[in-house]
Every structure is written in C-alpha cells, then in structure tokens.
Amino acid sequence: MGTDKTKSTLIFGLALFAMFFGAGNLLLPPFLGYQTGDNWWSSLAGFSFTGILAPIIATLSILKSGDYFTDLGKKSNQTLVYILATINLLCIGPLIAIPRTGASVYEVSVLPLIPDAQPVWVCIIFFAAVLILSISRKNIITVLGKVMTPILIALLLLLIIPGIFLGNLSAENYKMTADQSFLVGFQQGYQTMDFLGSLIFSVVIISAAKRYGYTHPEDKRKVVINAALIAGLCLLIIYAGLFYVGHRFEPTGDHISRASFLIQISSRLFNNNGVYLISVIMILACLTTAIALTAGFARFFDRITKGRLGYQEGVILCTLVSIILAINGVETILDYAMGLLNFIYPIILVLVLFTFLFGNMVTSKGPILTAIIVTTVISFIRIFYEWNPEPNIKSILYSLPLVRYQLEWVIPAFISFGLAFLITRISK
C-alpha cells in the first residue's frame, strides 16, 4: 500500500505540474531572466510567490473546505461563490485560456516551421487531440502524470542544462535593482493567472485521488498535499533553470518577443534543430493545460446542472467553442473578458486566502464576506479607472496603500475582516 500511495502521489504531482505549465510558464521565465540580468534570482523569488505559492495555497484551501471550489462558500456566501466559480470557469476555460493554447501552438510551434499554415486546420487538429484525451475523465491523470509530463520535463531539461553552461554572457549585467526585479517577477507571476487555474486543477486532482481509492479524509488530504508540493518543487526547479538560462543569453534584433527570444536560445544551443525542440515543448505544454481546463469545465457544469449537461457533452461543447474563438482570434473577446477576469481575480484571491488563513477561526460568514465586499468595491474602482482614467478616480485609487504593486485591496481587506470579526465576537 505504501508503494502504491507513493506512486499515486508522484503521478498526481506530475500531472498537476503539467496542468500549471502552459505557454506563459514557458515563455515568461527566460524573458524575465534576460530583463532582470544578474538579479534574476530576485525576480524568480517574486515570480514564485504568485506563480507557485498562491496556486498551492488555493489547492490546500479547497482541500480544507471540501472537494470543490464552491465549498469555499461555506465560510462566506454560497451563491456568491457559485457566481465567481462560473465566471472563472468560463474565462479560464473556453472564452480565453483554452483558445489561447490553440493560438499559441499555431503562432509558436507551427508558423516558424510551416509559414503558410492555416490556423483553422492547426486549431482543429490541436483541439481534436484535446477532445480525444479529455473525453474520458478516468484516464486524464494517467495520460498527464505517466506519459506526457515525463516527456515534457525531459525536453525542458534538455533545453535548460546545456543553456546553463553554454550561455554567451559572462560580464556583470545588472539591468534592474533587486527590488525592481522582485516586483517585476511578482507582477508577472500574478498575471499568469495560474492561481485562478489552480481552482480548476485542484478539483481534478482531488477527484482523481478519490477515484484511486483515497476516500478517507486523512488519506485524501495527505496525497493531495504531497502532490501539490511535488508540483510546486518541479515548477521551482524548471522556473529557476529557465530564469538562469534567460539571464545568460543576449538576444539579437530589435523589439524581441518572448517567443522569438526562446527560439533564439534554443537555436544557439541546437542550431536548426532548436526550433523543433521549442515547437514540441510548446505543443506539450499547451496540450496538457488545455486537457485539464477542458476536464475541469466539463466536471463543473456536469455537477451544477446535475447531469443535464453531462461530462462528455461538456467536453465537446468546450472544445467546439475553443476552436471557433482560436480560429477567429482571441483578441476580439480578450479586452472584455480580461477586464472581467481582472475584476474577479482579487475577489477570488481574498476568498481563497482568508478561508485558508482564518477558516477555522471564524464561526460566522460575516467577516470573510465583509472582506470580499470591500475587495469588490476596490476592484471595481481599479477596473473603472482602467476603462475611464479620470483624475478623480485616480486620486481615490492612488490614495490606497500598495497601489503601485496592484495590491491596493490587501490592507483594506484585512482591516475590514478584522473589524467584522471583532464586531461578531463582541455581539456574542
């Protein structure tokens, strides 16, 4: 049993790593390493806070509350959490994140090799693979953890290890201070939206643990926690390698993009074969993430519709919508959907963080709900300012602490929670 448990935990951890590691997770770290120079380690630390620690906390918070994202509503408001979960599933699912995996494969993996390739056929083939690999919920963890993730990690190490020793930059290269580097990494990790994705991925992992026979709460808790730690450790190792490699290379050309910089690194290491390596890594990274997001979308709507929109029907619907949006260009919907996503991001973060930190301490729904309401107001001010940057709105927003870090909601959320908590205690 001990060997089986260890093996299952490792499979879950590798599968969770693959779910997190998408296109942005491949492209961002090397470019941040280049941007921050010799202070890449500080940028890595900031990136790890928001790109590794926050998603793991989200997974543990859901595990602590139950089996689903909506179980977080037990300590706040169930209806509100269902609304947030639905918006998050739609945006992180077929409206933004899943179509962008197909678009990324077309732009980064296919176009450099086949310049006249048509996006319609690339997207159809890619999402057909997503459909085939996610249509059976029983096989997803096995496919990801046993097959695809080991290949993905091996290819990433094939890129990283030579890059550590063969980089072409040897002089000191301080492009940013350590504080600036940390802030850039922190903000970029925040913008990967891995935290929001973890609210979907954690449900997939918890469901898999139960299906593998870990139905006792303590057994399930240990397996999922250890899997999350394995995924976090793998992410940290791969991120550190990509940051360091990016710091060791100097790009050529003007207005270098993240994708072209990564291709330049690989081409210097492997000559003409470098573009093939990046192509395969990108396909695997996008495919694993798309499979997990599609499965999470289908599971959620299967559950809340009580089977009226079944799992397999949800998978088919999700892939069809994703194909259409990926072909027509995600940018047409991105401005509106990303605005909505940026609006709910702090709200969900407060819900998850406060449930994780204070869930055992609060006895009523008031304190956490109060913090969510205050965060909602501040988040609305931020989004309204980005749509309509009037001086009066700016003065309100920029009077809040931590606004330069885009964390203006943090201190008001904690203060409002503390006041509501004290009031509920006194009233009793």
Q: What is the pLDDT of residues 233-273, one digit of tens each?
A: 999 999 999 999 999 888 887 778 888 899 999 998 998 88
Q: What is the pLDDT of residue 272?
A: 84
Looking at residue 201, its pLDDT comes to: 93
pLDDT at 290: 95
pLDDT score recorded for residue 224: 94
CA 304 to CA 69: how far, in whole Å?
Answer: 12
DSSP label of 175:
-
Which strand (E) or helix (H) includes residue 297? helix 274-304
Q: What are the Cα distances from residue 307, in Å, to 132, 297, 299, 304, 311? A: 21, 13, 10, 8, 8
pLDDT digits (tens, 9 = 90+) for 21-72: 998 899 999 999 999 988 999 999 999 998 999 999 999 999 988 889 989 8
What is the pLDDT at residue 323? 93
Give residue 173's pLDDT: 63
Question: How does residue 379 score in pLDDT terms, banded at 50, 70 and 90?
Answer: very high
Spatial separation of the C-alpha atoms in residues 37 and 310, rounded to whole Å? 50
Select the more confidently predicted residue: 74 or 224: 224
Per-residue pLDDT reduced to its tens digit, 323-361: 998 887 666 666 666 677 778 889 999 999 999 999 888
156-177 residue pLDDT tens: 999 999 998 887 664 556 678 8
Band of residue 420 on the pLDDT scale cut at 50, 70, 90: very high
